[in-house]
Amino acid sequence: GKGAFGLVWCGLRKPGGELVAVKQFQLSGAEVLSAVQLEVDILQSLKHPNIVGFLGVQQHEGAVNLFLELVSGGSLAANLAQFGPFPESVVRRYGRQLLQALAYLHQRNVLHRDIKGNNVMVCPGSGTIKLIDFGCATFEPSSADCEALVASARGTPYWMA
């Protein structure tokens, strides 16, 4: 896949041979490096069944690679486009899981800032969903910094609230 700052590949993790997602960023400036570092800091601080797992990070030849849990069932948006509306029971199950992930982020003072169907992946066969793409995320600022947070709004405009 392709994101705002980089590409996502399927890779093979050594030595175990496990398939992983590799999110690759080209280091084109201090802004990109700072954004990648924040995403790494946030992902390292999270461990929840409905949030993509962080496996590691590596810098190599002008690029940074984030190694993440591979979720191969496609996004909610892609599944909706391919299969049509979900049954009510599935909507309830996915909605509950997404709310659990958001409650967990709230407890850890993390703002995702780009929640949309393309950033929620489905684990095939299990009915589990995973929130992905923390590239717009930040740690919740103190109340004194809220004005700066509003001024630095991030996310997908159509989905912002």
Kindly report, residue by residue over 65-96, the tens digit of the pLDDT.
999 999 999 999 999 999 999 999 999 999 99
Q: What is the pLDDT of residue 160?
A: 47
Confidence of residue 6 (pLDDT cuts 50, 70, 90): confident
- Mean pLDDT, residues 116-128: 95
Active-site pick, 41, 114, 133, 145: 114
Q: Which of 16-30, 54-68, 104-118, 141-155 has the lowest mean pLDDT?
A: 141-155
Segment 50-68 shows an average pLDDT of: 94
For the chain, which residues make up each domain, given as ranges? 6-159
Q: Is the pLDDT of residue 61 over 50?
A: yes
Kindly report the three-state secondary structure assignment for every residue of the chain: CECCCEEEEEEEECCCCEEEEEEEEECCCHHHHHHHHHHHHHHHCCCCCCECCEEEEEEECCEEEEEEECCCCCEHHHHHHHHCCCCHHHHHHHHHHHHHHHHHHHHCCEECCCCCHHHEEECCCCCCEEECCCCCCEECCCHHHHHHHHHCCCCCHHHCC
Q: What percent of the chain has pLDDT over 70?
A: 84
Q: 114 catalytic, yes or no?
A: yes
* CATH tag, 6-159: 1.10.510.10
**Model pLDDT, residue 3:** 62
What mean pLDDT do residues 146-156 have?
56
